[in-house]
Structure 1
Amino acid sequence: MPPSSETRAPPLFVVFNRASGRGDRDEVGPAVEAACAAAGRGCELLPVEEPERLGEVAREAVRRAREVDGVVVAAGGDGTINGVVQAVLGSGCRFGVLPRGTFNYFARTHGIPSDLDGALRVLLHESAAPVQVGLLNERVFIVNASLGLYPQLLEDREAWKQQFGRSRLVALGAGVATILRGHRSLRLTIELQGQPRRVRTPTLFVGNNALQLEQVGLPEARAIDGGALAGVMLKRVGRWALLVLLARGALGQLGEADQVENFSFRRLTVKARFFGARRIKVATDGEVLWMPLPLRFAVSPHALMLIRPDGLAQERREAQAAMASAAPAGAPSTTESGS
C-alpha cells in the first residue's frame, strides 16, 4: 500500500543551472531522478538554460512547492544558490542544495558534501534547520557582499576563467594580476550603532559565511555564529602590501595583519564621499552589479530553512582548530558588536 498523503515525503523541485561551475550539463537531472526513485520520493526538474531566467524559474519552483508543501532545491554554485534563495526566503518553503560550483562555501559551511551523491543523501534524509541570510539593500547574500577592490577581483577572475578554465589556481592568478594593476581607494562614510565614521579603504567586505573567514584566519567567524555579519576593511596600502595580504589570507593568517580591521554588526549603512555618486559597483555571492547609494547591510529578519546535517561541519571544526593553533597566546579579540 502506498504511503498516505500525511506521511508521504515532500516532493523536490530542483532548479539547476546548466552553465554552473563544473560544466556537468547532463549529470544533475539523471542523478536526482535516480536517487528520488530509489527513495520513493517525487521530484520535478526545472533547468535554467539562460542565466537571466534564473529568477523566473526559481519563482516558479517556489509557487509549485508551496502548493504541495514541497522542497525547493538549488543545484549550482553560490551564485545560482543566491538566485534561488532570493525567491525562497520568506516563502515558508524548505530549501535544499546540490553544490556544483568551484568553491561551494555555502554548502561547505553547513556540512553539505560537495559530491553529488553525498549532497543527495543529505537532501533526502536530513531535516531542515534555520540558517542566517544577509541583505544588501534588500538583496540577499548568503556568503558575502563587498565593494571596492573585491568586485574588481571577481570580474577579473571570471575573465580568467573564461580563458583558462575554472580552478582555484586560476582564481589566485587572477587576484594577483588585479592587485598588480592597482586600484583607487574608496572614500566612504560608514554608520555603525548610529555613529558615522569617515574611512578610506581599498575594499569593504561583509561576510555571512563563517568557514570562509576561518580559512583566511579572521576571528569574526564567531560573530556570524552569534547572529551578526562580519565587516572587514583594509587600510590604505600599496599594491605590494596587498599582495602580502593575499598571501597571508591563503595561509590562514589574515587576522594577524595590522592592515586589516574587523568588526561585527547587525546593521550597517555605507555612503560614498565622492561628488555626484548615486550608485556603486558591488558584488553579492560572486555576482557583480551596480546598486543605488546609500548601501544598507543587515541580517535578514527571515531565516532560511535549510536541509542540512546536524551539528558543526567537520571542515569548520578543522578550520577552527587551525585558527586556535596559529593564534598567539592571550591575543585580544577585535570583535565589536553592533545592533
Structure 2
Amino acid sequence: MPTTTVAPDATFFIALNAGSGHDETEERRSTIESVLGAAGRRFQLTMIDQPDTIDEVAAQLARQAADAGGVLVAAGGDGTINAVARQAINHGCAFGVLPQGTFNYFGRTHGIPEDLSEAVHALLASRLHPVQVGMVNERVFLVNASIGLYPKMLEEREVDKKQFGRSRFVAALSALKTILSPHRRLRLVLNLDGKLQRMRTATFFVGNNRLQMEQVGIPPLSAALEDGHLAAVAPRTKGKLGMLWLMLHGALGQLGRLNQADQLATFSFKRMQVKVKTLSRRRKIKVATDGEVSYMSNPLEFRVLDEQLLLLKPDPAPVSAPQTGPLPACAPGLVDIR
C-alpha cells in the first residue's frame, strides 16, 4: 500500500544524476550534503554515473525508501525526475525533487526552487501532496508526451547541448533548426470514447503540466489539468513557415489566439487511443516522455493514472484569481483533418 504520511525525520534516499561536468556534480553533491547535514537530517546519496543504470539505481533506492518509511528523491532534470518517479509509484513511497535541468517544468509547477540550496531547504519544510500522473502505454509522464516533430526536436537538442552547452537559448536555436529541416506529417486516427477522429499534423503533443500550458498561452487546458484531464495540442498548419509562426506564438504565450484561426487543435481528455498510420503495422513509434525518447507499440494508449504520485512540495500560496473551467473532453472542430 502506498504511504499517505511521512515522518518529520524520514530518511531521504537521493538519486543524483551526474550527467554534468565533474566539478558541477561535486558542487551539487556538496550542497546537498551541507544543507542536510546542518539540519541533522538522515540521508543516503547515490550518484548515477551511467544513464542506462538509472532505472536499476532508482528501483533499489525506492525499495529502501519503502521499507524504511523514507522519501525517494530525484536530483536532476525532468528526464531524471520521470525515471525516479516511476519507481516511487511502483514501490508506493513518498517522492521529492531537487530540479537541476534546463526547463524544470515539473519542479517549477509545484513551487520547488531551481536554486539547489533553496530546493533542499524547501524539501525539509515540505508536505505530501497528491500529483496527477499521465501514462502512454506503460510509460509514465509527469510533464508531457509527444510523437512526430517534437521527439526529433529533443534528439537534436541533446546533440546541440553536448556541443554548445546546456541553456534555454541553445534549446531555442536547436528547435528552430529542427523546424526548418525536412519533416513528414503524421496520419493519425484518434479514438475518444469510441468516436474516431482523423488528423494530419507535424506533431501530436499531450501535456500534463499546468505551467507549460500557461506559458504557451492556452489557459483552458491548464485548468483542465487541474480537473484530472490531460491536454492534447496538435498544429493543423502545413509547411515550415506555418510551424515557425506557431513557434513564435508559443514563445510569446499566444497559442490560444490561434484556435479561432483554425491553425491549432486543442482538447482535453482522460483516456484516448492514438493510432499512427504507417506502411508497416508492426512498426514501433518514436515517443518522447519528459524529454526522453523511446520506441513504443502502435497504437498508443494515453490515460490519467488512477494512482497519484505523493510528492513532497511546499504548500501552495493562497490564490484569489477566478477559476477557469476545463474544456470539454473533445473540443469542437477536431474533425477529419486531412
Q: TM-score, normalised by structure 1?
A: 0.89
Partner of 1:42: 42
The answer on whether the counterparts of 1:146 and 1:205 sit within 8 Å (CA) in structure 2 is yes
Partner of 1:28: 28
Q: Is 1:336 aligned to residue 328 of structure 2?
A: yes
2:164 counterpart letter in structure 1: F
Partner of 1:3: none
Q: Is 1:160 aligned to residue 152 of structure 2?
A: no
What are structure 1's unaligned runs of at least 5 residues? 1-5, 325-331
Structure 1 residue matching 2:166: 3-state secondary structure = coil
Output the aligned Cα RMSD.
2.3
Partner of 1:55: 55
1:337 counterpart letter in structure 2: A
The within-5 A match list for 1:79-228 is: 79-219=79-219, 220-228=221-229
Q: CA separation in 2, counterparts of 1:313 and 1:159?
A: 41
Alpha-carbon deviations, 1:227-281, whole Å to 9, x = none? 1100001114110111011011000001111311110001010112222132111
Deviation at 1:334, TM superposition (A): 8.6
Q: Which moved more, 1:231-240 or 1:141-150?
A: 231-240
Q: CA separation in 1, counterparts of 2:318 and 2:209?
A: 13
Which portions of structure 1, spanning 4 or more consecutive aligned residues, are displaced by more than 3 angstroms? 20-23
Partner of 2:281: 277
Deviation at 1:213, TM superposition (A): 0.9
1:67 counterpart letter in structure 2: D
1:235 counterpart letter in structure 2: R
Alpha-carbon deviations, 1:70-127, whole Å to 9, x = none? 0000000000001101111142211100011110000000000000111111111111
Q: CA separation in 2, counterparts of 1:57 and 1:311?
A: 31
Q: Cα 1:190–1:234, aligned 2, differ >3 Å: closer, same or farther?
A: same
Q: CA separation in 2, counterparts of 1:312 and 1:143?
A: 22
Partner of 1:292: 297
The answer on whether the counterparts of 1:21 and 1:101 sit within 8 Å (CA) in structure 2 is no
Identity %: 47
Query: What is the aligned length?
Result: 320
Q: CA separation in 1, counterparts of 2:245 and 2:205?
A: 18
Q: CA separation in 1, counterparts of 2:95 and 2:38?
A: 21
Deviation at 1:182, TM superposition (A): 2.6
Alpha-carbon deviations, 1:154-181, whole Å to 9, x = none? 1111111111111111111111111111
Q: TM-score, normalised by structure 2?
A: 0.90
